Amino acid sequence: MSGRAYTQTRRADATAQTRRTILDAAQRLFREERELDPSLDQVAAGAGCSTRSIIRHFGSKQGLMEAAVADATTTIGESRLVEPGDIEAAVTRLVEHYEQLGDEVVRWLGSAERYPLVRRVVETGTEMHHEWVDAAFAPQLAACAAAERRALRASLATVTDVQVWHLLRRREGLGRKAVEAAILQLVRAAVENPKGEQ
């Protein structure tokens, strides 16, 4: 590798690292510090850089927040991947995710109307959840007629929603394994009766 190519590679690596550090700082403020509308100054302080550096990388605060949401969505989506049709693995992975972020997500849901960024996070999360249902339960959905498929998809999206986890875990006080068993039972019931008949 020539000296010039080596310098360019190092510069690209440094740029990528700075970008990563800024994204991590923005996400940390949003999640850990519970700052639902962080300023560029706050993000810059957390990342150890200047606000000008943030603007250079993301163009604006809106650009930064959109990038942070997209990055977090990708990470979460990858952490929830399972073999399509494996109901037990899907529920286990889902509950693992909710144990880490469920309380925060419920808090965001309650703040969505007041903060545009939070609303965007919630909307993205809803889209991602439906995509996860489509992927995780693909064989079960494919086995249904079109009308049944729509009803089954709606049922699966509902019984695996974070609000169900939150009610079982926080309001009813069930332990993690009991919550997992309850959600698994709900999922199996939905799959076994896709029409929702009594």
Nearest one of 168, 180, 187 to 106, comparing CA atoms: 168
- Give me the pLDDT at residue 161, please: 96
DSSP category for residue 175:
-
The arrangement of secondary structure in 1-68, i.e. its CATH architecture, is Orthogonal Bundle (1.10)
Phi, psi at 112, each rounded to 5°: -60, -35
pLDDT tens for each residue of 64-83: 888 887 787 777 767 677 89
pLDDT digits (tens, 9 = 90+) for 138-181: 999 999 998 899 999 999 999 999 999 999 999 999 999 999 99
Domain ranges for the chain, please list them. 1-68, 80-198
Angstrom distance (rounded) from CA 82 to CA 46: 34
95 pLDDT more than 90: yes
Q: What is the mean pLDDT of the chain?
A: 87
d(CA 145, CA 195): 10
Q: Which of 160, 29, 3 is nearest to 95 (CA)?
A: 160
Long-range contacts for 124-129 (Cβ within 8 Å, ≥24 apart)? Answer: 124/69, 124/73, 125/73, 128/73, 128/76, 128/77, 129/157, 129/160, 129/161
pLDDT of 59 strictly over 60: yes
Tens-place pLDDT, residues 15-42: 888 999 998 998 888 777 666 778 899 9
Residues of the chain above pLDDT 70, percent: 89
Q: What is the pTM of this model?
A: 0.74
CA atoms within 13 A on the CB side of 86: 10
What six digits make up the tokens of 173? 């006080």
Q: Which residue has the higher pLDDT, 49 or 120?
A: 49
Question: What is the structure's pLDDT at 6?
Answer: 52
Residue given tokens 């990055």 in the structure block: 71
Phi, psi for residue 108 in degrees, rounded to 5: -60, -40
Whether 4 has a pLDDT exceeding 70, the answer reads no
